[in-house]
Amino acid sequence: MDLLTPSLGLLFWMSLAFIIVLVLLKKFAWSGILKALKDREEFIERSLKSAEDAKAQMSDLKADNEKLLAETRLEREQILKEAKDMKEKIMSDAKLSATEEGNRLISAARAEIDKEKLKALSDIKKQVGELSLEIAEKVVRKELSDKDAQQALVDIHLSQAQAN
């Protein structure tokens, strides 16, 4: 049991050595250790504050990016709407122009048809007049007294005119 219990002298010298080491540590090392711990604590606090500031800045940047993205989407939709409206206006104008051009061409064609129709009627009247003169001339050459012969002659000439 002697091995387990230290002697009084050993306890005294161990206590004296411990106190000396403690005093020396307190005088020379303790302030340095406490200063290093305080510096470390301040560094950690500054790092945490910097991290929080960076996080806040990132949050602000993210909000700004979302805002810009929303504005860009809105602007894109507005540009697409304007393009669609412009396309519809151009198509409407083109349809209107095509309709007006078609109506103008139809009117011109009708006028040309009417003109040709009048010309044809004029030619027919001229030919009828010429035929009438020829018939009259031939009838006059024949005997004026024979009415049946004149009628037969007119019928013959009319049938010949219709055949031509």
pLDDT for the residue numbered 139: 65
Q: Which of 7-11, 43-47, 85-89, 138-142 has the lowest mean pLDDT?
A: 138-142
0.75 cut: is pTM over it? Answer: no
CB 145 within 8 A of CB 151: no
Q: Sketch the domain layout of the chain as residue ranges.
A: 24-163
Top pLDDT among 164 and 109 is at 109
